[in-house]
Amino acid sequence: MAERIEWMAPAHMLSGTIVPVPPAPARLRRRGFDPAGELAAALAAHLEAPLSQCLERRGSGRQVGRRRAERVGHPPRIQSKGAAPRSVLLVDDVLTTGATLTACARALRAVGASRVVAVTFARRL
């Protein structure tokens, strides 16, 4: 998946510190792994870029199964664990409405990121 993103994305997008979208805690416990985190780590290795786990989800339920209006109107609560890198490549496995990526970008910008670019492996229509 990381190789495919590297191959398909414009080269100018693939710079900065790589930050995975944080998983919902219950989903991480149930699955036992974090798809976005693993994708971000693989992409960082391919690009020889730094990786930062600087975001976390707080007390919000899953987005899966919610209608579009609910997702957009009540995005997950994302916050930074500290200062953000100035340039960020935000990585998620699947894009649905963009509510989670938007929440992540806002959290990163609130703590100092001046450039946030997002990539995903897939998009759900």
Residue with tokens 């510190």: 17
For 9-66, write each residue's pLDDT tens digit. Answer: 999 999 999 999 999 888 888 889 999 999 999 999 999 999 999 999 986 555 556 5
Task: Print the domain residue range for 84.
Answer: 2-123
Q: What is the DSSP letter of 52?
A: -
pLDDT grade for 67, boundaries at 50, 70 and 90: low
At 50, which CATH number?
Answer: 3.40.50
**Count: domains in the chain:** 1
d(CA 28, CA 76) in angstroms, rounded, equals 15
